[in-house]
Amino acid sequence: MRRRALAAQGAAKMAPMHRHHRVLTSMRLSLIVLSATLLSACQNLPTLPFVPDSAADARELTDALPAPEARQWPHAGDDVLNQRARAYGLVRMPEMQAYLDGLLARIKRQAGVPEWPGSVYILASSTLDAYTTAAGNIYISQSWLSSATSEDEIVGVLSHEFAHVYLHYHKLDEVVPATDKAAQLASAGATLVMQMTGTGAQGWTDVDSLVAGYTVGRDLLSTAWGRSQESSADLLGLNISLQLGYSYDAGYKAFLERLASWQEDHAAHQAQLEKEMLDQVMQRASAAVEAGNDTPNSEVSKAMFKPLSALAGGIAGLMHLGQTGVEKLWSASTSRHPDTIARLDRLTMAIDELPLEDLQFDATTKPWRQARAQRRTAATLRNYQMAVQAVTQLDHPKAYTWARQSAAGVTATHAFPLDVLVKAQMARGAAQSRAMNPATASAVLDRNIAAPSDRAWISYATRSQALLRAGQTARAQAIINQGFNYFNDAPEVWPATIAMMAATQGVDEAKRLAQTCAQRFPNIGGACQMAARSPAEKAAADRQAEQKAEALLNRIMNK
């Protein structure tokens, strides 16, 4: 009897461990299946070239386009609303937009898909930016419109972005979120099991390794396919622009040269931002590594320990579901865009293979000059350039004057000039040793909020934050609720709204809204849940990330 009782006790003690191993094994298999699913999905994507072949590329510039894939188009209106919720939103230039839509219609006809949805919208961005979405819409910054010198160049930008739509560039973006969500659920289940069985509560676990391995593999795979797709979009976009009779030198080449020049001009600033970000990532993570370094000042130790510190910070970022600055660093290293000069060289080699008589050399400038000279368009572009001048020189004596002029006339209700005016007001007050109430300064943003055709989410967010800092909690909540009601169908606004709710109405209310967010927009469910965390939960997550990073480094260093 005694032996049977002891055996029963031993079995009872071992049962949780057996359950733990069975469930953990199941979780491992789940993540392996998820990774295999992603790989399988990507294997069905088009095979795209990685190695330049000038003769083959030249044939792609003259061959008929491949047949496009059938797809389900997202709602175009919801897509536009979501873009208005990003950065400074969109610029209202009806005449210019009509002109750009006409160019896009020509591109679609040349590609044999005139019925496809999608229009061109103008971004309130001071950078040379352009992108497309799965809805078929193309977004191009007002900076491109201010700097381009011919219709050929603008058609180069539009045809390249349209090529992404034609080649179904967004297919991978449809696959990844679903596998990401499943991976998060599998990881959460495995973590819960380990906590219940008293194992793996702290430090690096097998599940962490699997999730990190999946994430890294996913990003590298996405990068390889994305860069290849970018190259193919160049060839297809150039094919379309050449068939439409536009010049390579004045068009596609000019577009890439302008982009390369802009990137070079901003490289130093970008490098400084990346250095500051990397320093922040490494500060805490590197402490665990340097503590075991016997010769911290030697060049050899620096060469060895710096990558380990960066790795620790990177893993810590993964544990935050990619919401920290590490994600930006990782994204930079896994950019889907090849080097601009390399893209230019490849296209030039392909063009050199074509007979000269097949090429157009004269630029199409007259319709482009006329489009930019239209009264409201010219005034809008001029005011945006003035706003950029003011915001980049806030210490200049005329910065406030420039800002006021930029936020007048046709742009009196545009978000970017008004935001610059707020910054200029604050800078002028500081220069005159006059502290300005943030709520008073930000009141100018009400002009954007009151204009339905120009509304941008950033105005609501900035205004409410200024009111909150001024102690006007009720007004801050009212503003953010007003914006949320207007932009409710835009996923971009949900995390910021939830964070504001956590600060003004409590974490419980924020978490309830985060659950709704996860149901409506599964792709950003993680970001919404993070926005609803209490300060104590954020601190605990930070501590856990540090523990995991330190544990990984100890494992690497055989401690």
Given its phi and psi angles, is residue 118 left (phi above 0), alpha (psi -120 to 50 degrees) or beta? Answer: left
Helix (H, G, I), strand (E, B) or coil at 482: helix
Structural domains in the chain, CATH included, are 393-556 (1.25.40)
pLDDT band at 56 (very low <50, low <70, confident <90, very high): confident
Q: Tokens standing for 173? A: 């973006």
319, 546 in Cβ contact below 8 A? no
What is the rounded CA–CA span in Å between residue 522 and residue 526? 8
pLDDT digits (tens, 9 = 90+) for 396-433: 999 999 999 999 999 999 999 999 999 999 999 888 87
What is the rounded CA–CA span in Å between residue 319 and residue 526? 12
At residue 174, does pLDDT exceed 60?
no
Which CA distances in Å does 95 have to 91, 302, 370, 371? 12, 57, 11, 8
- pLDDT for residue 286: 47
SS3 for 324-377, per residue? Answer: CHHHHHHHHHCCCCCCHHHHHHHHHHHHHCCCHHHCCCCCCCHHHHHHHHCHHH
pLDDT band at 467 (very low <50, low <70, confident <90, very high): very high
- pLDDT for residue 343: 85
Taking each helix axis from N to C end, the angle separating 267-290 and 535-556, rounded to the nearest 10 degrees, works out to: 70
Helix (H, G, I), strand (E, B) or coil at 72: coil
DSSP state of 74: P
- pLDDT for residue 275: 53
Which CA distances in Å does 121 have to 104, 156, 316, 410? 11, 16, 38, 17
Mean pLDDT of 476-493: 93
Q: Tokens standing for 339? A: 């080097």
pLDDT digits (tens, 9 = 90+) for 107-156: 999 999 999 999 999 999 988 899 999 899 999 999 999 999 999 999 99
CA–CA–CA angle 472, 474, 479 (5° rounding): 95
DSSP state of 168: T
For the chain, the average pLDDT equals 76
At residue 200, does pLDDT exceed 70?
no
- pLDDT for residue 171: 58
Give the lowest-confidence range in 8-12, 229-233, 361-365, 553-557: 8-12
